[in-house]
Structure 1
């Protein structure tokens, strides 16, 4: 690193860092290494399917902890173990306890006897407010089923950066709204040179969100521990590349836990080939979920 201001300029001299500084390339890696080493020393084991998942099992209790940068979610069947772990983490890092999970990274969490509900109502309303569509007329569905968007199907949109920002926010919204996954996947293909028609299609998605801002996911408390998956694909639907689109959903019992809508990497020469590619992608997702369930 460069010498800090105030030190005499000496040729062929460098500074040795005694600790990682915030904002450096290696800072995030050093932080996660310190946090994971502390958790492992406490008795946690790191998940094999997800390195941000930590699990601690004993004869009397079970504890799962998941990390996103410096935000931590903790679940356990023992309140005493939770309090002991929070005390340990506070001694190591000086944490801020936000109490029972209600709001996390834009996700609103509600619990009842029927299960756990996830939605992004506030996040959705913020998007509508920022785009001045809070008073718009709601739409019944996010995108016309026969709509085929292309790269150069209309005049260029005057503000490409705002289109990219909007699509990025919609991508994060698909965490709890699988019903817009296909529409957002289509819109994200035109970030380089968005046109007026692309922007109109994005506005249609926002009008659909206006009708369902609080709609989300429900993880039922009575779900069976059985994975069920459904996959599908179209064939050569992309006008520009003639690539097919893979779509799948995975349920744990009757709770939706994973989904995807994505353009396939290669061109399929038949509808059967496109279906098999979609099935292979779905199988990979199921395999990862099985490893995650085995960790838990």
Structure 2
């Protein structure tokens, strides 16, 4: 894309612009790619001088597709530029993934275990996508995860986070619950390592942000506990 520099007409009011830089991360926190875009400083426009009418940005909606066969069912959720596939028949899922791969340029994140209970740098909000037609599954999963926090305190914050959407969950909130389950898949073989020469001292560190929760606007507090040199919680 090329652009030409031209003289500004005398009857045109100039509006400034600026470059916006951002970093897109993988689910494990590593850098995926660097992004940049040029945006107009629309907040400096004046009604009647720079524009005559306003518009409301289009709300993104999600679409859910369901296919049922004699061997099982498969669900495909599309939200903006993300696709989430799940179901009870692995062969149907594999076949659909291959069809999508043949037709589009796509990146796959499989259903294997993940390293964190929630996606990094992602904040979920109320009414950010279409509501689930039947929230029963979401509520059952969150309820089961609440009991699991007794023996899995590492997921306590993530479960508390998705519990905020129990009244009116949407598709993206269900994806977040699925992410917690994927995290639990990889915890069965994990353990704590204690060095034999490490002193048995308990140390606790905590910190909080400023109005970090987009739902309640409350501050979010984080903490970690070390026994000697080993992180235990």
The TM-score normalised by the length of structure 1 is 0.36
Write 1 or 2 for the structure with the bigger share of helix: 1
The TM-score normalised by the length of structure 2 is 0.45
